[in-house]
Amino acid sequence: MTAIEKVKKYFLVNISLIVILGIVMVYSASYIYSKENFGTSTYFFFKQLTYLLLGVSFAFGISKTKMSFWYKNIYWFNGIMIFMLFLTLTPLGLSIKGSQRWLSFGLFNFQPGEFVKYTVCLASIFYFNNFSIYTTKQKLQNSLHFLIPLVLLLLQPDFGTFSITAILVLFSCFLSDFPRKYFIALLFSGIAAGGSLLFAAPYRVKRLLVFLDPWSDPQNSGFQIIQSYLAFANGHIFGQGIGNSNEKLFYLPEAHNDFIFSVIGEELGFLGVCLVVVLFSSFTFLGFKLALTPKSKINQQIMSCLIFSISLQAFLNMGVVLGLLPTKGLNLPFISYGGSSLFANMIAIGIIISCMKIKSQISDPLDKNSTPPFTQSALGI
């Protein structure tokens, strides 16, 4: 077994451990809430397990395909997901807690934003690597592939997914051959726009103030983060044991979703928190190490962006739950309950594995000996 094959093996084992921990903790964090609201303690557990099996099946199928197929047709796939994102703002969309982020299909709800951040990521890589050969019209048209979804995410509103998607666009730009002087201008413009959007909405300003002093409103806006603090405090070093969290008993909102890391802290203690941090740190390290293995620069960029996206969301979620960052609606990848998130993340893993295969390597667009890059108009139409 070569060194790269060992890294790949460790990477897959690492993901498996995170997923297994996620399934166990979803059941532990939700079984009482599930029993009270759905009559069975395994409602969320079996739904998450179903999404996992479907996600693994799709990831396996995608890992066997040529990455060049997905990459060269990414504008079409991204256009479809943008359309789905648009539908959430129509009467077909499902509003939950003031945000219209879901489409309801009866037995399950679908959150397009979880998939859009990945299709926008790939579309941005394609766009910035082909920027120098696009005509002015193509540059303007194809930029809509990341501008439109960013606007739609703000309209839902889903500022968390918007922030991650915007950062991914900048990261893909940074990795490409896009002129540095233009990238710096784009970076500072993005920071300025993000700051303006942060202070434009009163509820975001309120969240920022609560982050600075959650005890100023302990029964309302500061309640969630204070309960998270209590969960970690109750966990001590070794935790209360699996299933023995008190905070998940209707004290901690979203215990099986956004704040599942708090439940881990209470039930598995400081050692459990360290385990999660080590697992995601290893995921990031091994992922970026694997991203250096393909000969194709494009494959390297795709893998790097997908690894960066999952890692960024994981550490942002942990930062929020620990009170190091303002509260945002971001779940913990592979661990938090959520079918769309788990399914999308498993597809991302399938793409990463596909990129590692020699047959799937994509010719660099600026290579004179390569086939001219595939170009399409805005939204692939």
Q: What pLDDT sits at residue 375?
A: 42
**What would the 3-class secondary structure string for 235-248 be?**
HCCCCCCCCCCCCC
Q: What's the distance, CA 36 to chain centroid?
A: 30
Q: What pLDDT sits at residue 3?
A: 82
For residues 291, 296, 301, 303, the Cα torsion angle rounded to the nearest 10 degrees is -40
DSSP 272: H
Assess contact for 362 and 296: CB atoms under 8 A. yes
Q: Tokens 């069975």 sit at which residue?
A: 40
Query: What's the token pair of residue 342?
Result: 């788990």
Crossing angle of the two packed helices 180-200 and 159-175, in degrees rounded to 10: 170
Please state, in angstroms and rounded to a whole number, the distance separating the CA atoms of residues 231 and 229. Answer: 5
Query: What's the token pair of residue 12?
Result: 């897959």
Crossing angle of the two packed helices 74-87 and 144-155, in degrees rounded to 10: 20
Assess contact for 123 and 78: CB atoms under 8 A. yes
Q: Residue 343: how many CB atoms within 10 A of its CB? A: 21
Assess contact for 310 and 283: CB atoms under 8 A. yes
* pLDDT, averaged in runs of 10, over the chain (381 residues): 87 96 95 89 94 95 88 91 94 84 83 94 93 91 94 91 94 91 90 83 77 81 88 93 87 86 96 97 96 89 96 95 86 94 96 77 48 39 32
Q: What pLDDT sits at residue 67?
A: 84
Please state, in angstroms and rounded to a whole number, the distance separating the CA atoms of residues 200 and 195. Answer: 9
Q: What pLDDT sits at residue 88?
A: 93
Buried b (16+ CB within 10 A) or exposed e, 106-129: eeeebbbbbbbbbbbbbbbbbbbb
Report whether the peptide linkage leading into residue 157 is cis, meaning its omega lies within 30 degrees of zero.
yes
Assess contact for 262 and 227: CB atoms under 8 A. yes
Contacts with 358 (C-beta within 8 Å, 6 or more apart), sequence order: 295
Provide the 3-class DSSP secondary structure of residue 362.
coil
Q: What pLDDT sits at residue 362?
A: 58
Q: Which amino acid is at 254?
A: E
For residues 331, 337, 342, 343, the Cα torsion angle rounded to the nearest 10 degrees is -130
Q: Residue 351: how many CB atoms within 10 A of its CB? A: 23
Query: What's the token pair of residue 193?
Result: 């726009």
What are phi and psi for residue 194, nearest 5 degrees? Answer: -65, -45
